[in-house]
Amino acid sequence: MEKPISLFVVTFLFFLLNQSRAIVGKYNVLELGAKADGNTDSTQSLLSAWAAACGSSKPSTILVPKGRFLVKRVQFSGPCKNKAINFRIRGTLVAPSGHEALGNAGYWLHFQNVDGVTIHGGILDARGAGLWACKAAGNGCSSGGATTLGFTNSNNIAITRLTSLNSQMYHLVFIGCNQVKLQKIKVLAAGNSPNTDGIHVQFSSGVSILSSRISTGDDCVSIGPGTTNLWIENVLCGPGHGISIGSLAKDFEEEGVQNVTVKRVKFRNTQNGARIKSWGRPSKGFVKDVLFQHVTMINVQNPIVIDQNYCPRHINCPGQVSGVKINDVTYRDIHGTSATEVAVKFDCSEKYPCSGIRLEDVKLTYQNQKAKSSCANAAGTALGLLEPASCL
Ligand SMILES: *[C@@H]1O[C@H](CO)[C@@H](O)[C@H](O)[C@H]1NC(C)=O
């Protein structure tokens, strides 16, 4: 009598085990051919894991264990059969050495048309220094370089505790995405590395960037046309070029930027703090409903700046004015030190002056002296303690 019962128990346990496996598909790249030695090409294992996870109707986890995994260009394409694909990365993904290796593909790791992808942990090491050196040499480089991680036309994305090192171009880019939550992100690249923006958002809505540290050679966060409902909170920036709405007005037909909140952010040794910039060119673009609040500036060259006469290399803009209308931008509780005398600068469009600019409790000093503010074509209100005095 005993034997059939124990057989039954064992069968039942196997049944349970299979059930739990069936609830979440698990794909470990080591079991799919990856090698954690930093040299063996592990690209195919990630592609196989993705194909299985994306093709499954069940929630799936893709596991990258500890170690260094050499990965070439990867395109993670959807739509998938489920809306819960979770990357758990304990190790480091390493790009091939030599900046030519990623070619002109635009991205190193690129997600497209996905819904419900999360990434937890991990280090992405793009080894960008070769391309930076090539650019610095000024003799032309065979490849423009790639963005480290991009999401295009994707929804419901969550990324936590991810570190991006030394991107060739931008670190993280979101284009055409809805509902993206980035938390505890670390971006690290040299302060003089070219075009290594930390996080770039464009044509996207509902992106939040929380509790993150961004040290890089270009914008900490750059906010492109068509960005709405963006929330940035508790972020440390520096070195780098600050948080920048723009460049806008690159094109005539351009979507606006609306409802951007930047709160509890610290800028340290950055070129800019809170910046809005547009080319001095005709455009249908606009910026409205922006709030910068509880911001600390430490040795920032342009702590508060609106520059609508952006015209790098003086091509296709001299003598023109910006078509971008800027309305309702609030700067509240901004304090710290400016590295230049002009701490607040509003250089707005002659044709479409800035309106509804609000300064409230702004205290910025320049080498323990009084800083200055400068206004052109800017109107608004000033409230509370203001240093430098408002020029609105
Ligand atoms: C502005 O964006 C935030 C998210 O960043 C959102 O919660 C809020 O509802 C938006 N406000 C409007 C008026 O759409």
Residues near 47 by beta carbon (within 8 Å), at least 6 away in sequence: 74
Atom index in ligand 1 nearest the CA of residue 207 equals 5
The domains of the chain are located at 224-392
Asked whether residue 351 carries a pLDDT value surpassing 80, the answer given is: yes
DSSP, residue by residue, 199-252: EEEES-EEEEEEEEEEE-SS-SEEE-TT-EEEEEEEEEE-SBS-EEEEEE-SSS
pLDDT: which is higher, 102 or 253: 253
Best substitution site from 180, 201, 229, 233 to test ligand 1's pocket, by max atoms within 8 Å of Cβ? 229
pLDDT at 87 over 70: yes
> What's the confidence (pLDDT) of residue 24?
81
Quick check: 17 pLDDT over 60?
A: no
> Is the model's pLDDT at 113 over the cut of 50?
yes
The band of 1, judged by pLDDT with boundaries at 50, 70 and 90, is: very low
The pLDDT of residue 10 is above 70: no
Measure the CA–CA gap between 274 and 340, rounded to whole angstroms.
15
What is the C-alpha to C-alpha distance for residues 318 and 364, in angstroms, rounded to an integer? 32
Using one digit for the tens of pLDDT, what is the confidence trace for 138-188?
988 888 899 999 999 999 999 999 999 999 999 999 999 999 999 999 999
Q: How far is the CA of 104 from the centre of ligand 1 (A)?
A: 36
Rg of the chain over CA atoms, in angstroms? 24
Would you tell me how many other CB atoms lie within 10 Å of the CB of residue 86?
18
CATH number of 224-392: 2.160.20.10
Tell how far the Cα of 205 is from the centroid of ligand 1, in angstroms: 9
Give the integer Cα–Cα distance in Å for 386 and 333. Answer: 10
Closest-CA residue, ligand 1 atom 6, reads 229
Residue nearest to atom 4 of ligand 1 (CA): 229
Q: State the chain's mean pLDDT as an integer.
A: 94
Residues near ligand 1 with C-beta < 6 Å?
229-231, 259, 261
Cβ 323 vs Cβ 281: under 8 Å:
yes
What's the gap in Å between 296 CA and the centre of ligand 1?
24
pLDDT over 70 percentage in the chain: 94
Catalytic residue among 241, 294, 314, 335: 241
* Residue 386, pLDDT above cutoff 50: yes
Report how far ligand 1's centroid is from the alpha carbon of 250 (Å).
26
- Cα-to-centroid distance, 174 and ligand 1 (Å): 18
Residue 4 clears pLDDT 90, i.e. is over it: no
Residue whose CB lies within 8 A of the most ligand 1 atoms, among 259, 260, 292, 328, for a mutation test: 259
Based on the residue annotation, tell me whether 99 is a catalytic residue of this protein.
no
Residue 92 burial (CB count, 10 A): 20
Per-residue pLDDT tens for 286-303?
A: 999 999 999 999 999 999
Count the neighbouring beta carbons within 10 Å of the beta carbon of residue 6: 9
